[in-house]
Amino acid sequence: MQIIIQSALLSVYHKDGLDTIVNHLHRLGVKIYATGGTFDFIQQMGIPVIAIEDITGYPSILGGRVKTLHPAVFGGILAIRNDPNHQSQMEEFKLPFLDLIVVDLYPFQETVVSGATEEEIIEKIDVGGISLIRAAAKNFNDVLIIPTVNDYPRLIDILENQDGKTSFEVRKSQALSAFKVSSSYDTAIFNWFASNDQDRNLIAIPSDWESKSLRYGENPHQKASYKGNLSEVFLQLHGKELSYNNLLDVDAALNLIHDFEEPTMAVIKHNNACGIASDASLLQAWEKALAGDPISAFGGVIVSNKMITKEIASSMNQLFFEVLMAPGFEVEALGILKGKKNRILLEIKSYTKSVQNFRTVLNGVLVQEPDNSTEKMEDMKVVTMKVPTSNEYNDLVFANKVVKHSKSNAIVLAKDGQLLASGVGQTSRIDALKQAIEKAKHFGFSIEGSVMASDAFFPFPDCIQIAHEAGVTSVIQPGGSLRDQDSIDEANKSGMAMVITNIRHFKH
């Protein structure tokens, strides 16, 4: 539904750019109401303007702390235009409808940064302005809210090019902008108060999130807590409380296993897969995953994408591990696994993953989309004379999924749906490869006929040469190096197959 702006309330701290808006409103015959300094600014322009006091019948009081907080103002904002009861009450109390609200809040964050006193900072907590923003945003069906000077260009376009006509979509979009401003402003205030209270957490969290204290963080001398709803992710069937490090590994394990549809089991240690395998038999998948690194599996986190049977439970029961996660457990399996009182057993639920990743950096936060790309055979471009066999293609897909979830720099060696070994978290790709080869040999694996996956391109052909000498026959990598052709040439020289995905999977 389109609405034509006929009345506007302006209450802004900074006046930059306001003259353009006021001139357009005057040109369109819009009745303008304003508060305090905004009223003075418009009056000095020689533009007709009505003081907010003329609506409320009260002057600005308490040193300017109370100006707009009055039913006469908020009635005009919150009244539903097509509601007969609202219409009659507006007429009864002679209240004006307000179609446009323009607000620029007190500069709270700037005041904090300036080194102002606590009293000065408190005075810059906007009350009336934030209330105007929320009220107008709530009634976006009838009212357009401009909650920040950053949205002035959009308003000027509406006034200049659309003669003050606003669509439902635009008003709803501005409501989103308004609640973002409101949320950010309140978070800044919360963080300022919290910074003076060392026992408080310095982030604002959704009200429906739980705040769970953990025994400690990564190390015993670090305090820690979890913010969120773990009960939405899994049901804890047995064992002690999850620790900070458990939760990191649980998260890594779930992210990894979600990329596999075929029966798969994995063992996670320090956020990396030390063993993982896919097999039509889940029991075989478990035995192959454990064989990948039975030493690192001690104290690890195990995850399955299929139900844990009695046979699997019996097979793994002698191993000490911290956590086992699966979408289900047979009754007999639970009876076996619950024999260790501290062993954590989690039944995975279907849950909505976060749509953004956050990481604190310096004095702020990095935000990015999750790496949701999982390349299939059709996403691979063969760049060598030799084409991967059907089995090699399957292993390339498998290895690429594993390397995606491994700390960079990362190299994965795999064969027949099993992780032979990986080199992770290395400062050079060649070191990662050497680590993977050495580890595979240490656990008795033959690398002959295996595939190699790299999370990023090969800057030089040396990795291809070393992999060939170890027995690798097929390689998957994203490509993108200026020296890609050198690696391709080395693969051709060695009779290897190589595919490029054009998708890098750095993980730091």
Would residue 442 show up in a list of annotated catalytic residues for this protein?
no
d(CA 492, CA 444): 28
CB 128: neighbour CB atoms within 10 A?
23
Would residue 15 show up in a list of annotated catalytic residues for this protein?
no
**Catalytic pick from 26, 270, 434, 441?**
270
d(CA 171, CA 182): 16
What would the two tokens of residue 178 be? Answer: 């308004």
Helix (H, G, I), strand (E, B) or coil at 313: helix
Cα→Cα distances 298→65, 274, 292, 295, Å: 63, 10, 12, 6
Helix (H, G, I), strand (E, B) or coil at 33: strand
Q: Is residue 428 a contact partner of residue 409, using CB atoms and an 8 Å limit?
A: yes
Tally of CA atoms within 13 A in the half-sphere of 105 that contains its CB? 29
- Spatial neighbors of 183 by CB under 8 A, at least 6 apart, are none
**Catalytic pick from 15, 31, 138, 441?**
138
CB 222: neighbour CB atoms within 10 A?
10
d(CA 194, CA 294): 46
d(CA 14, CA 354): 37
Q: Is residue 52 a contact partner of residue 35, using CB atoms and an 8 Å limit?
A: yes
Environment class of residue 381 by beta-carbon count within 10 Å: exposed (0-12), middle (13-18) or buried (19+)?
exposed
Main-chain dihedrals φ then ψ at residue 267, nearest 5 degrees: -115, 125
d(CA 197, CA 249): 31
d(CA 16, CA 231): 49
d(CA 92, CA 71): 13
Residues designated as active site? 138, 270
